[in-house]
Chain A
Amino acid sequence: MFFLDPFFYEILISGLLAGVMYALVALGFVLIFKASGIFNFAQGVLALFAALTLVGFQTGQIPFAHLLSLFGLHATHWGAGFPTIVALLFSLGVMVLLAWLIVQIVLKPLVNQEGIILFMATIGLAYVLEGVGDLMWGANVKELNIGLPEGPSEIILDATDMFIDKLEISAAIVAIVLVVSLTLFSQYTKMGRALRAVADDHQAALSVGISLETIWWIVWSVSGLVALVAGVMWGAKSGVQFSLSLIALKALPVLMLGGFTSIPGAIVGGLIIGVGEKLFEFYIGPLIGGATENWFAYMLALLFLLFRPQGLFGEKIIERV
């Protein structure tokens, strides 16, 4: 029986931890979709951009060095970087600034447009960010180390003979802290309540005197923060490079499953997808040739959707005429 298999539990835990990593990315999507109905195609690129910026500050890279070299300036680094914590704060600052720019330049002129138009605008945004990120920081792989523990956890290894990466445990802890603080923020602060009001009804929110612009700015900033965290976690694993932006594809089935509007949905969806795809790949994968994770995640989400078309935690769709 499979549950007697010692690997069953390990794959289960690995799946859960991977699921947390997916959920981290999905969270960014959910925040923006909930507050503004925008399916933010640029979320993956946002994570890449955040991670690139962080590494840039950390290692003291000169932005646009490659572009400057056209004019005969051949330096690539300032000589010294910032300590990690300062770099993190600066990167966050950049994300907040970026959020403001996005709201002012892209979203403000597109208020009240249909979802597909806004979706398209975020595609344009993704192009721009990808280009700017690469141009600013270069397209080579960058090592990202912010001092998180790495390697298998000795304690768990000794106790259970399982290899659980400390990095992933930290990711899980960070994710939990993030979700809890987001929840507290939206429940107990004035701004959080305003956010929820916007999510429920744009007009109503406006009529009580909350500026939609401000709300959007905050949402995109928070989503930038989430992107930074996701970028750090994924980047620590694989180095920071273009492929980092493709993690968005891993978040989509999570969104489908959890619903585009639910923060707990993103977490639970991430866990289900993580565990589901890992179990399938581990036990069924070898029988049919392997590399099933990509499509299986979507198939799993699709199956759920056939029974709950609005996702696990999505608001129920009521059809009326």
Chain B
Amino acid sequence: MEEKKQNNRIMEVKDITLRFGGVTAIEGVSFDILEGEVRAIIGPNGAGKSSMLNVINGFYHPQQGEVWFNGQKRGAMKPYQIAYQGIARTFQNIALFKGMSTLDNIMTGRFTHMKSGMISQVFWKGKAEKEEYENREAVEKVIDFLEIQTIRKTEVGKLPYGLQKRVELGRALAAEPKLLLLDEPMAGMNVEEKEDMSRFILDVNEEFGTTVALIEHDMGVVMDIADRVVVMDYGKNIGDGTPKEIVSNQKVVDAYLGVSHD
């Protein structure tokens, strides 16, 4: 575990400020994510965590601040361009393609890997067909990995919540991202499901070497799986360090243990 810390910074956000109209969602937040680590972002509701992820994958454009990815400063980019750079994510409220099967959802996750043109697609010959089967192999690996073989052909709208979360993880994994963003991957799960999910995240991190940044409320889980933690409250960065350092940080404890803000 210790050796990871010497790795490169895969992502660095510097002094990000994001406002909606008059409301400031994020104010001057900076932190970094190292290659190969599991980085957790924690904080109370409305702290700006999800907004932070939205900034990282380009859905929100901050008024101020810089985002560095792979050692390069990122200009104004659309979310789909950022996907091509190798950032994938899951969502707090599941954002699966409800009308599609599990398989199709995960296949869609490989969109950035598929390049055959319209003509080839129309005639389903040559590149289109070959590419489809190659990518299918990769997807099958993800399916095996997440143990969701039996629901391969099921429409995801009909799956129970826990499985949907897993399919969503699969969709993000299928992209083979360099950086995987998980927005509350364990929200609404029971203990057993949380254990499963934690195991998947750790496996992803260890087997594929994927860098993971996740938002999570359950401090127990965060303690178990995160290498480093950044704490946000009211749009500000109020703590950054290893899980151990964080629990002993007074500001963090206040924010969490209900020192009233009113």
Contacts and interface: CB of A to CB of B under 8 A. Distances in A.
Contact present between A and B (CB < 8 A) = yes
Interface of A: 321
Contacts of B91: 321
Interface in B71-130: 91-93, 95
Contacts of B93: 321
B17 interface: no
Contacts of B68: none
B50 interface: yes
Nearest to A318: B20
Contacts of A321: 50, 54, 59, 91-93, 95
B169 to A, nearest CB: 16
A233 B160 CA distance: 54
Interface of A is mostly: loop
Interface in B41-71: 50, 54, 59
A321 B93 CA distance: 7
Of all A-B residue pairs in the complex, the 7 with the closest CB atoms, nearest first, are A321-B91, A321-B59, A321-B95, A321-B54, A321-B50, A321-B92, A321-B93
Nearest to A319: B59
A103 B125 CA distance: 52
A321 B50 CA distance: 8
A321 B57 CA distance: 12
Nearest to B59: A321
Nearest to A321: B91
A152 B50 CA distance: 63
B14 to A, nearest CB: 23
Contacts of B95: 321
Nearest to B183: A321
Nearest to B20: A318
B170 to A, nearest CB: 18
Contacts of B50: 321
A301 B173 CA distance: 43
A321 B51 CA distance: 9
Nearest to B89: A321
7 contacts: A321-B50, A321-B54, A321-B59, A321-B91, A321-B92, A321-B93, A321-B95
A321 B96 CA distance: 12
A321 B181 CA distance: 13
A63 B213 CA distance: 71
A131 B95 CA distance: 44
A7 to B, nearest CB: 44
Contacts of B54: 321
